[in-house]
Structure 1
Amino acid sequence: MFTFLGKRVYQALIVMFVISLVAFSIQDNLGDPLRELVGQSVSEAERDVLREEMGLNDPFLVKYSRFVSNALQGDLGTSYFYKRPVVDVIFDKLFATLELVVAASLIIVVVSIPLGVYSAIHPNSALTKAIMGFSIVGISIPVFLTAIMLMYVFSIELNWLPSYGRGETANVLGWESGFFTLDGLAHLILPSIALSSIMLPLFIRLVRSEMLEALSTEYVKFARAKGLPDKQVYYQHALKNTMLPVVTVGGVQIGTMVAYTILTETVFQWPGMGFIFLEAINRVDTPLITAYVIFVGLIFVVTNTLVDLLYGFINPTVNLTGKGA
């Protein structure tokens, strides 16, 4: 296990180096940050002085070396707009984004596993056909369109749920979240459903296909031949082996959902990382843009490592070290 962790940490450092290099490289193609920092009355000569003071005229390798040196000390730069360290700006919005991702993930798990298992056990039923039809439609509809339809139906027409904002939050054990208030939960329902719609159809079909494959294996046939009850065969034998690829895909998709929150947060005006990322692009706030890309990459790396560790708990026969028996 320690050997595996050492290898994954080494790989993670290489991946994060590449991500930081790519994120830093795109800064020069985003526009002139001085456009938002100074007014029209500032002369070109004064702009040149500011560029020199900010190090914008330095060669790429000099700027990147300075960035890496500061990043190793926990300093990813200062936001041009907020006039604060970008790490502080992102952490202020991080919990709002994670709150949305956690809520969407819970919806996906609670809905996709029962529907996927039912569709595999009863492949020819009318409900299964309806579920599969729903999954095809769900995959085809973009998340922003789903968000707009939910807002129109439940906020404008029915007036059941709020259409924007995060709502009231409460601090529990250091986590400021809307999970702990009724108003916060009401504001969370529509954005989390919209975000979950990206992955929910995929997971329903994934659970169904993996469950069908597990039900056709020899060990399941042997369990049935021994006279075990159907529920025991389905849920103790087949479902356990179905979950391994589901966890694999799920770990990757959590990072994808963090990236997709940009669209959901924009439609619902959710004050998360994706929302400030779009604002940073409009303002050419390059330090904030770079830090956001690095944080999203870090989430991908961490979730993938945790998924690999979960392999051993779900299926002890998985060899994490890659060595022979």
Structure 2
Amino acid sequence: MAQRADLKKRINSVTDIKQMTNAMQLISAVKMRRARSQLETTMPFFAACAETMVKLCDAGFERNNPFFQLHHKKRGETWKIGYFILTGEQGLAGAYNMNVISTATNHIRQKIMENVRKDLKTSARLFVAGKIGKEQLIREGFDVVADFQYPISEPTYYRAREISDFIHDLYDNGELDLIYFVYTQIESSIAMKPIVTRILPVNPSGLEELIPGQYRADYGLSMGGTVEYRPEADDVLNHLISTYLTGMVYGALTESYASEQTARMIAMDHATENAEELLRKLTIKSNQARQNRITNELAEIVGGAEVLQAQQ
């Protein structure tokens, strides 16, 4: 009897968990569809910004612009690297946050080892969006900037512009020599992967890889078309730097948010399926316990009847 009571408690508990995970899955599905719609709207602008930078580099207009020039360091000098890492504010999204954190830490350690072999020092400052990543990286002992507090949820162009202005000033003032973005890129409806891409100085080959194929043809990247700049290419370049940064930040924020909601929806869907499977097994055990109790009661009744009949 005690075993069946325990099973009943477990069944009720798993049922409550299933209802909760199913509700979270439905909420994440709604947020995911909204985030995917925003991403589809954002992607042409993101692609245009990246494609324009690639075009300017191909035309050779970046030679005298510091935002395109990779610094050169002598032995004993320090590379000042900034990492903008986009994680979520909440858990229950599978391995989404840990994959981003792992990708960032592996890249940082790789950079440190490369510079050590060149007799160079490395200073890595981490600007982390999202509570989950910030807390984890602080525990691991990284130099995390505490007052950088921007979430990836519900991204807006105004928030992206604030972050891009902040990045622009850090690089323009010489506080950072290299700036990387670490975020999750969507490959398909269910496949995502964390990536590291250099934002400053502009990396044309890396940008070209980020542009989806369907947008390359639209903007002439694969068609070999020419672009005319007025009044001068340098004037256009200086104006486009801030637009490029804002577009890259906005694209990364939007894709990170869509990835997080997709990961949470998938995780909650799997959790609901696991709860259903556990309920099925517990129900079978409960039925077996109930059947055993009935069998024992029948056996006791038959045994008692036989004793009474023998006494008569």
Q: What's the TM-score, normalizing by structure 1? A: 0.29
Between Structure 1 and Structure 2, which shows a larger proportion of strand residues? 2
Q: Which has the higher contact order (CA 8 A, sep 6+)?
A: 2
Normalising to structure 2: TM-score of the pair?
0.30
Which has the larger share of helix?
A: 1
Give the greater-gyration-radius structure (CA).
2
